[in-house]
Chain A
C-alpha cells in the first residue's frame, strides 16, 4: 500500500542538539510538506517543497531546516535555534500544486529532555 512513513514515532532531544525527523513517501507525489501541531493551534506549516531540490519556508520556518534531494524523501531538521521544539510533527504530500488533497503520515512526537 502506498503511503507516508514518518520515523521515529517518538523522539527525545537534549537542549542544544539538532535532531532530524524522517519522512518518506511512495505515492509518487511531487509536493511534500512539514507541519507542526500544538494543542489548540491546529496545523502550522513549517516548510514545503513542490519539486525535488526546491523548497520554501512556511509560516513558522525559524529554527528548522529541510532538504529535498529525492522525490520520496523530505527530512526535517529541528535545530538548537528552535526555542520551543516540543510538539507533534506531521509530514504530508500531494500530487501537485493548486490545492490538491494532502496525505498525512502518522507523525513524530518530539520532546525535550
Chain B
C-alpha cells in the first residue's frame, strides 16, 4: 500500500534556527512530491513541488526540499526559521503517470518561538 511518513509530529524551534522536516514514502513507480503548508486559520497552500529534473527544489519563503530517490525521501529544509513559519506542514506524494490521488503524511506542527 502507498504510504507517506513524516518523522516528527511536533517541532519547536527558536527563531534563526535551521529546520529540517523528514518525509519518506512508500510507492511503486515514478512519483511527484509536494510539501503543503497550513498557517493558523488559513487554507492549505503549496510550498514546493518536485516532478522531475534537479532533485533540489526551491519553494516560497526560502524553503527548499531535496528528493533522494535511493532513500525514498523528500525532506524539507530552511536555513533560518522565522516566527511567521509557525504552521503545520504536510508532505504529499502521487504517481506521476496515469491517474493517481495524493497521499498525505500526517503532518508536522512547527512552532517557532520569538
A: residues with CB less than 8 A from B are 33, 35, 40-45, 48, 50, 58, 90, 92, 97-99, 101-107
- Tell me if B46 counts as interface (CB < 8 A to partner A): yes
A48-B94 Cα distance, complex, nearest whole Å: 14
- B44 to A99, Cβ gap below 8 A? no
The 8 Å CB contact of A42, one of B43, B100, B106, is B106
A97-B32 Cα distance, complex, nearest whole Å: 12
- A50 to B90, Cβ gap below 8 A? no
B: residues with CB less than 8 A from A are 6, 9, 31-32, 34, 36, 42-46, 49, 51, 90, 94-102, 104-107
- A99 to B45, Cβ gap below 8 A? no
User: From residue A8, how far is it (CB to closest CB) to chain B in Å?
Assistant: 15
- B107 to A42, Cβ gap below 8 A? yes
- A98 to B9, Cβ gap below 8 A? no
- A43 to B101, Cβ gap below 8 A? no
**A residues in contact with B9, CB < 8 Å:** 40
A99-B51, A101-B46, A105-B43 given; name 15 further pairs at CB < 8 Å. A33-B101, A33-B102, A44-B104, A48-B101, A90-B43, A97-B98, A99-B95, A99-B96, A99-B102, A101-B34, A102-B46, A103-B46, A104-B43, A104-B45, A106-B43
- B34 to A42, Cβ gap below 8 A? no
Q: A90-B44, A104-B43 are in contact. Are A50 and B104 (CB under 8 A)?
A: no
User: From residue A104, how far is it (CB to closest CB) to chain B in Å?
Assistant: 4
A2-B72 Cα distance, complex, nearest whole Å: 35
User: From residue A42, how far is it (CB to closest CB) to chain B in Å?
Assistant: 4
A41-B67 Cα distance, complex, nearest whole Å: 24
**A residues in contact with B97, CB < 8 Å:** 98
Q: A42-B90, A42-B107, A99-B32 are in contact. Are A58 and B101 (CB under 8 A)?
A: yes
A95-B90 Cα distance, complex, nearest whole Å: 21
User: From residue B96, how far is it (CB to closest CB) to chain A in Å?
Assistant: 5
Closest to B6 in A: A42
**B residues in contact with A48, CB < 8 Å:** 101
9 A-B pairs with least C-beta separation: A99-B32, A99-B94, A97-B99, A42-B106, A104-B44, A43-B104, A42-B104, A106-B43, A104-B43
